[in-house]
A = this chain, B = another copy of it.
Amino acid sequence: MTALQPATSGTTRGASFTAPIAADLAEVERVFARKLAHHRGHVSRLVAHVEHYRGKRLRPTLLLLAARACGSVTLAHHVLGAVVEMIHSATLVHDDVLDDATMRRHVRTVNAAWGNQASILLGDMLFSHAFHLASEVDAKACEIIGRSTNRVCEGELHQVSHRGDLGLSEDDYFDIIDGKTAELTSCCCRLGAMYSGASAETIESLARYGRALGVAFQIADDLLDLVGEERTTGKSLGTDLDQRKLTLPLIRLLDRAGGDVRTHIRQILNSPENHKREALAPYLAETEALSYARRRAEEFAEQARSELACLPPSPCRDILESLTVQVVHRSC
């Protein structure tokens, strides 16, 4: 169970994380479900399965908290909350194909259960429905969302093109996660602020908050993939290693290791066998690679916090602030 899950855990100053936006989140869920409700047969089974993929609702939560912290929540926010969640679901479905992942949130992935063909098309369909839904708001919303998803896809393509590249730089790593993760969390905060009538300056601050939070979140996610527990996270771990994707702790480890050690670590990473996590554990334990990655995540979280200074005090601002702590201290 994660601190980001709405119903059961995570409190800030005594209140549930999502209490101030619980009714709005429920409305987002209704819009999401309604958009996909007309499907029948095989398609409806696939759509129903995707429900299990969706746990944290982090993206609509960010959008609604940003909205509430800047002003009031409107119908546009409910629609856009469903849009960003649908886009996120589409990327999860396609990511699981890319990673050959078999488990997510304690259930089989769509590709594991129905094959890659159905997964590719289901992801496409979720993308399409998301864009169609966005058109209910206005052309500006379509523009902002389209621009973000362009960048998300670029980030993912950048990552794929560097698979197996053991010389991946920190700059490349940050460019990749800025695209594949931080772009969408930034977009959520931007949309939330914008459709609450916030000033241009506040909108940009919130967009930077979302971006820095997304980077912190992804570093933490990559740490979990390397040193987390499958039982707790409920998903296949070690997939970055299996897919030969270098993440921050390993980039640091390779960067700081002496010649012989570096050669050995590279051998582990290039090995076809499946116990890379275990083989790397001693090296990670002996060095500051993990703590370096955690420190960088903290820095981005701190940067996110500083962007909130433009907002008046409010329960939702407090929650946005505490989210910066939660995203880097989580076990799933």
Contact = CB atoms under 8 A, between A and B. Distances in A.
Interface string A108-152: 000000001110111111011101111111111011011101101
A219 to B, nearest CB: 22
Contact of A150 (B97, B128, B146, B152): B128
A154 interface: yes
A134 B136 CA distance: 14
Interface of A: 39, 41-43, 46, 94, 97-98, 116-118, 120-125, 127-129, 131-140, 142-143, 145-147, 149-150, 152-154, 156-158, 160-161, 163
19 contacts: A42-B157, A42-B158, A42-B161, A43-B154, A118-B160, A118-B161, A120-B123, A124-B156, A128-B149, A128-B150, A128-B152, A131-B146, A131-B149, A132-B142, A132-B150, A135-B139, A135-B142, A137-B139, A138-B139
A163 B94 CA distance: 21
Contacts of A46: 157
Contact of A98 (B121, B125, B161): B121
Q: A-side binding surface: helix, strand, loop or mixed?
A: helix
A175 to B, nearest CB: 11
Nearest to A122: B157
Contacts of A122: 157
Nearest to A36: B150
Contact of A153 (B124, B138, B143): B124
A125 B157 contact: yes
A147 to B, nearest CB: 6
B125 A97 contact: no
A18 to B, nearest CB: 29
A33 to B, nearest CB: 16
Contacts of A41: 161
